[in-house]
Amino acid sequence: MTCPMSEIEDLDLEFADLPEHAAVIETLWQEAALARRYGDTEPALDAYRRIIELDPSNTDALLAAAQACRLAGRPRDALLFCLDLLEMDRQHMGCRLELAEALRQIGQPDEAHAIIDILLMERPDSVQVWCGLGRLLNDENRLAGAELTLRRALGVDPGYGPAWAALGRILARRGEGEAAVDAFHAAITLEPEQPAHQVGLAEVLLEAHRTDEAAEHINRALALDDECAAAHMARARLAMLEGRQKESWEEALWRHRLPGVVRPLLPAAPWEGEDLQGAHLLLHAESELSVTLMMARFIPILAQRCTAITVLAQPGLVPLLEAQPGITRVLPLGKPLPDDLSADYAASLDDVALLLGIEPQSLPTRPYLSAPRPRIRRIRVPVGTLVKVGIAWGGERSEDGLSFPHVLDLSTLPGTLLFSLETGPRAAEARQQADPGLITDLSPTIADYADLAGRIAEMDLVIAADGPAAHLAAAMGKPVLLLLPHAAHPRWMRDRDDSPWYPGMALLRQPAPGQWGPPVAEARRRMEMLAQLAAERNDQQRRRATGTDAATSAFLAAHLAPGDLLIEVGGGNGDRVFQIIEQCGEVLVIVLEPSPTEAEILRDSLAIAGLEEQVEVIAAAAGARERHVLAARSRSGGPRVFTLPDWVPAATPMRPLAALLDERPHLAACRVAVRLDQRGWEDDVVAGLAGRAALVTLEHDEGSPAASRLTKAGYSLWRFPEETACGALVPFDGRPGTILALSPGMAPAVHYGPDSLPPSPAQMAAEAGRAMALAAPGPALQAKGQINEAADLYAQALAIDPFCAMANANLAVLQHLAGKPDAAIAGFTRALGRLGHSAILANLAAALRRAGRLGEAEALLGEARTAGRDTPDILSDLALVRRDQGRLSEAEALMRRARTQAPDRPGLSWGLAQILLGAGKLSEGLPLLAHHPDPPGRALHLPRWDGGDVVATSVLVEITGHADDALLLARFLPMLAARGALVHVACPDDMVALLADLPGIEQVVGEDDPLPECQVRTSLAALPGLLGLADTARPTGSGGYLLAGRGRRPVRDNRLRVGLTWGPGRGTAGRPCTLGDMLGLAIDPAVSLLALVEDEHLGHIQAEGVEALIERPMPQPAHLAEMAALISGLDVVVGGDTVQLHLAAALGKPVLALLPHGFDWRWPQGREDSPWYPTVRVLRAGPSGHWREPLRRVVSALAAMAEKKAHL
């Protein structure tokens, strides 16, 4: 709808300086508001320009014009208006915020953030500036930072309604439904007359399937403004969710009034349902790819009504749509239209169903898209493959996608192979987190959706999140399992496991938000059913191709041609006759059925089928001479024709085939083929044929002279090489079986029987053996350190047999070492399914334990123990499971048993040490620290110190392990010096300057420095045992045992200076506390945050969008001594189990340690303090891994510290 402009355009601007111009400007403001209400940007801009002409200093009009241009997708025009405004007022905050938004739209985000940063320095207490930053971060999809800045804005002004509404939208995008509801209620409380807040709340309620409440708030919004486009769009989504498609399509027309929605300018009149006879229709895609693929179903209907159809579609769809019937031309969206383009009518694909008057119950459901034939590439798979499964896990909306480890849960079903159809930014996950043996990445072969269709065409099943791959596969008629989040797109409606849009699609929904386990398990179950059906189908196909009937039918089908004559000797019930006529068409048939009764029944059957002119039935047997015989009716597999003495009367005549042919001169020109199924009479029948047949098929028995007679007559004899009737023939070798005799001059066909057959069990066993042989040298190569060579062998083996136990098990070890735990679990699971070896079971249990899947690991190990496999590996693995479950007494007993059975087994003493230390049994645990699995040192030529007298003895202490453990154990170095030893330390370069300040240390050398001359050596981990200590030697008081140099001078303000540290952690399998989890700490303006992390983690600050709230050290510390100096200037350190946290604790700084749920020997369970560090308070995540409660406690603790510091 276009807003009519008033007669203002005709005013004479010469009178602009008269007082009356105020009324004109007011009218123009109303014109602009009305135009923008109806989504008409140009009339609104015209009104703003007239205002500026009347009043060049009107900054409000300039700002409104800039905003209108930006919302209409014209950011460069917006920039011009902003620059004009800044010429008048360089400090105009609204203009600078609008300028930042426009700069982001034109691809200059750094400049946009620079403007916001300046505004924050100038106006740190401005709620509008914080909201502007939140809006910018939201547009950049950095939702965590957007939420944080909006909360900071509300900290400045809790009564600012737009900030609450913006926060509600961010929380909804992040999946925080309840929090979003609360935010919108706050906005409504503050601004009850604002319909947009009611709509925002309704949208969140729709996501939660609280449709009655959502409908109520939509109605409230429309009561406030019955032309609120956003409310009508919410009503459209509600109608779609409830299955009222037609109402939804009607309400969706209001989208054209939404801000920023611009109708394309097309060279055609809008189509509003008129008759299209003889018309050229221009269709344009308007929504995301999935909608374009879904609505393309209506193009065939339109093609029947108009002369030509041109489609404007997303560029990736162009090659696919060009190949579809009914489409004249396809053009890419986003590019200038060609000059020669013209059409009678134009319409959006989104509106076609409504314009066609389609009723929801009559949606077209037949497949309507197909892969262009040149884009289909045959995918070769191993012989044992039953089902090829295409999978795409990244949804078109980020909230629709599932994590890649769930994909690997589907890779362990025997007979199935996974192929990645993912083409988006998440396609790389298949390569980064798995191996081609588990999932084949097809993305390198996919340049557009025509290629994707070609790959889908080769699949037996597609499993996908809600995105283009799922829609394309369903549009092609492929069976699709669609994995849906709990808050699925409204097009999938509610409480349905099918879809009216795609009959071949099953909907597998999350039972609750975030729970992908149940739908993935159901997908796996259906995959297994499909594999079983495929196995049964293959078995039936092989059985159908086995036996005499299959072989003779294959022989005849390959050679018979129209006009040939087939003589069926021993006709039976006629099934073979009907089959051969179906296969070969216009052939003539003579059936010799020795039983008169059966012959009459067969005549009746053929007459009913209308074949009496094509098939002649003769009640006779075939033989070498004329005579009478006795014939049996039943076909038991043995002889049916029996000779009698001449003086005994018999009902069935026996006729030579040559005589029968002579009696039918009209058949003299026919080429004759004979199928001989008169058991025991083969030689007689061949003799009576007198060489008149071009080919003969028969069953050869041991000692039968028929084959010899045919050979003497000049026939070549052939047979199938195996029991199945498929493939090329080999010369007859005298063995019993079905044979084909070809007359002189005839050659066998290249191929007989079906084009292909499923592999036989023998073939699959042979391929499995070949794969094992290929993989066999791999373990020896691994032992030599030739990892790449071993991996290549395993890859070759898995290409032959994807479930080869040796290849999967050993490759899983490599996957674990490469940091791919989920791929390792999948590999071990495959191997265990094929070969139930205890070592594989133990490795799988260990992998599950490291992944935190303790219940599964315990069940596996329990099965092994039930089967009597109490090996040291099983016992130690179960001990570690019990340890991680917090059952330390049981863990200790199991580990001691394992250690007794295999006292020299590496790792068992260290495992026991961890359990003892975690249980607080320090007197026994500390000496076992010597078994800490550190890399070997450099001073292997020196004798080990045995703990004896070291007065005036030079001792080299080598530090080769992890830095956090080294910092924890560094407390023992001064104690060695106190024994009179001359202590020298060899350590990583990062620690040299830090340890050099420890009291009693003679010298500290780095990794590349020459080793000092010493008399004995020891490792740092061995010191507690060698020194005979019974406790952890905690420092007394509040001080630490490490010293920091002069700290960096902190900013001169009274805020609490907090060091924030995060990283992957290595103690437990639980999810460590990330920067994203801790962002809430930045809400309090009384707290200043400084990042204390490794270089590779600093990028998280930008990724989360919190550069304005978390300071980066400048410059970044080069080594731990500089990091210690940095920490010394802070008030407290908060974060996960990192080197920086251990360093702060060793320096004696107050530390709030955020640790995952689970066991770690350095942080005993069940207590919030540490036996190692007196200034550390430990706060743990719950068993579910959530950090909300421990972080709430951190916020309270920091607030108390900040309050104390503010009053110092």
C-alpha to C-alpha distance for 99 and 679, rounded to whole angstroms: 96
- Residue 277 is classified by DSSP as T
Is residue 1111 predicted with pLDDT exceeding 50?
yes
pLDDT of residue 923 exceeding 50: yes
Q: Where does 601-715 show beta strands of DSSP type E? A: 615-618, 621-622, 627-631, 641-642, 652-655, 672-676, 695-700
- Tell me the angle at which helices 59-71 and 41-54 cross, rounded to the nearest 10 degrees: 160
Residue 7 has a pLDDT of: 37
- CA terminus-to-terminus distance, the chain: 65
Q: Mean pLDDT over residues 846-868, rounded?
A: 90
Structure-model confidence comparison of residues 707 and 920, the more confident one: 707
Asked if the model's pLDDT at residue 1045 lies above 80, the reply is no
* Residues 1165, 507: Cα–Cα separation, whole Å: 43
pLDDT at 723 over 70: yes
Closest CA to 797 of 775, 769, 826: 775
pLDDT above 50: residue 299 = yes
> What is the rounded CA–CA span in Å between residue 320 and residue 219?
42
Rounded to whole angstroms, how far apart are CA atoms 1127 and 1154? Answer: 18
Is it the case that residue 1193 has pLDDT exceeding 70?
yes
pLDDT (tens digit, 9 = 90+) per residue, 808-842?
A: 999 999 999 998 999 999 999 999 999 888 889 99
| pLDDT at res. 4 | 37
pLDDT tens string 58-108: 999 999 999 888 888 888 999 999 999 999 999 998 899 989 989 988 889
- Position 16 scores a pLDDT of 43
On the question of pLDDT at 1003 being above 80, the answer is yes
Asked if 589 and 616 touch (Cβ cutoff 8 Å), the reply is yes
Short-list 947, 943, 953, 961, CA closest to 980: 953
Higher-confidence position of 1176 and 1036? 1176
Distance CA 457, CA 376 (A): 7
Q: Which residue has the tokens 């493939």?
A: 727
- Give the pLDDT confidence score for residue 362 in this predicted structure: 84
What integer pLDDT is reported at residue 1048 of this predicted model? Answer: 57
Contact 69, 81 (CB under 8 A): yes
Lowest-confidence segment of 643-647, 858-862, 993-997, 1085-1089 by average pLDDT: 643-647
Are 647 and 627 a contacting pair, CB within 8 Å?
no
The H-or-E segment that residue 312 falls in is strand 308-313
Question: Hunting for tokens 């600093």 — which residue is that?
Answer: 1098
Q: How far, in Å, CA of 672 to CA of 694, rounded?
A: 6
Of 617, 614, 555, 616, give the one whose Cα is nearest residue 586. Answer: 614
Neighbours of 373 (CB within 10 A): 9
- Confidence (pLDDT) at 1046: 66
Phi then psi for residue 748, to 5 deg, are -65, 155
Across 705-732, b (16+ Cβ under 10 Å) vs e yields: ebbebbeebebbbbbbeeebbbbebeeb
What span, in angstroms and rounded, lies between the C-alpha atoms of 232 and 226? 9
Distance between CA atoms of residues 645 and 633, nearest Å: 20
Q: What span, in angstroms and rounded, lies between the C-alpha atoms of 381 and 415?
A: 11
The pLDDT of residue 1034 is 64
Q: 1: pLDDT confidence band, cut at 50, 70 and 90? A: very low
Between 463 and 643, residue with greater pLDDT: 463
Residue 1035's pLDDT is: 60
pLDDT over 80 (residue 913): yes
**Mean pLDDT across 767-778:** 96
Average pLDDT of the segment spanning 506-515 = 94
- The answer, yes or no, to whether the previous bond of 511 is cis (omega within 30 of 0) is no
C-alpha–C-alpha distance, residues 626 and 798, integer Å: 65
Q: What is the pLDDT of residue 867?
A: 79
Quick one: average pLDDT of 1048-1054? 63
Q: What are phi and psi of 1036, to 5 degrees?
A: -85, 160
- Cβ-proximal residues to 763 (8 Å cutoff; 6+ apart), any chain: 383
Which of 777, 748, 384 minimizes the C-alpha distance to 554?
748
Q: Report whether 228 contacts 255 (CB < 8 A).
A: no
Q: What is the pLDDT of residue 40?
A: 78
Q: Is 674 helix (H, G, I), strand (E, B) or coil?
A: strand
Beta pairing partners, 1133: 1059, 1151
Strands of 716-719's sheet, edge to edge? 615-618, 588-592, 565-569, 672-676, 695-700, 737-742, 716-719, 730-731
Give the bridge partners for 730, in sequence order. Answer: 719
**Whether pLDDT at 39 is above 80:** no
The dihedral through the CA atoms of 1026, 1027, 1031, 1035 has a sign that is negative
- Distance between CA 716 and CA 707 in Å, rounded? 10
Q: Report d(CA 653, CA 634) in Å as an integer.
A: 18
Region 125-135 average pLDDT: 92
The reported pLDDT for the residue numbered 1187 is 93
pLDDT band at 1072 (very low <50, low <70, confident <90, very high): very high
d(CA 225, CA 208): 25
Say what the pLDDT of residue 1049 is: 56
In three-state secondary structure terms, 642 is strand
Measured in whole angstroms, how far is the alpha carbon of residue 914 from the centre of its chain? 37
Residue holding tokens 């007859």?
Answer: 732
The pair phi, psi for residue 342, each rounded to 5°, is: -150, 150
Query: Which of helix, strand or coil describes residue 137?
Result: helix
pLDDT, average across residues 411-415: 96
487, pLDDT greater than 90: no
When pLDDT is averaged across residues 464-488 and rounded to a whole number, the result is: 96
Residue that the structure tokens 């990028």 belong to: 1099
Structural domains of the chain, ranges and CATH numbers in brackets:
193-262 (1.25.40.10), 269-362 (3.40.50.2000), 373-543 (3.40.50.2000), 552-742 (3.40.50.150), 836-920 (1.25.40.10), 936-1026 (3.40.50), 1056-1206 (3.40.50.2000)
Q: Which pLDDT band holds residue 263 (cuts at 50, 70, 90)? A: confident
Check residue 226 and give its pLDDT: 93
pLDDT in tens, 558-614: 999 999 999 999 876 788 889 888 888 899 999 999 988 889 999 999 999 999 999
H helix intervals, 280-347: 289-295, 299-303, 318-322
What was the pLDDT predicted at 1098?
93
The reported pLDDT for the residue numbered 1037 is 54
Mean pLDDT over the full length of the chain: 91
From CA 711, how far away is CA 802, in angstroms rounded?
A: 47
- Give the per-residue pLDDT at 6: 38
pLDDT, tens digit (0-9, with 9 covering 90-100), for 489-510: 999 998 899 999 999 999 999 9
Residue 62, phi then psi, degrees to nearest 5: -60, -45
| pTM for the whole structure | 0.86
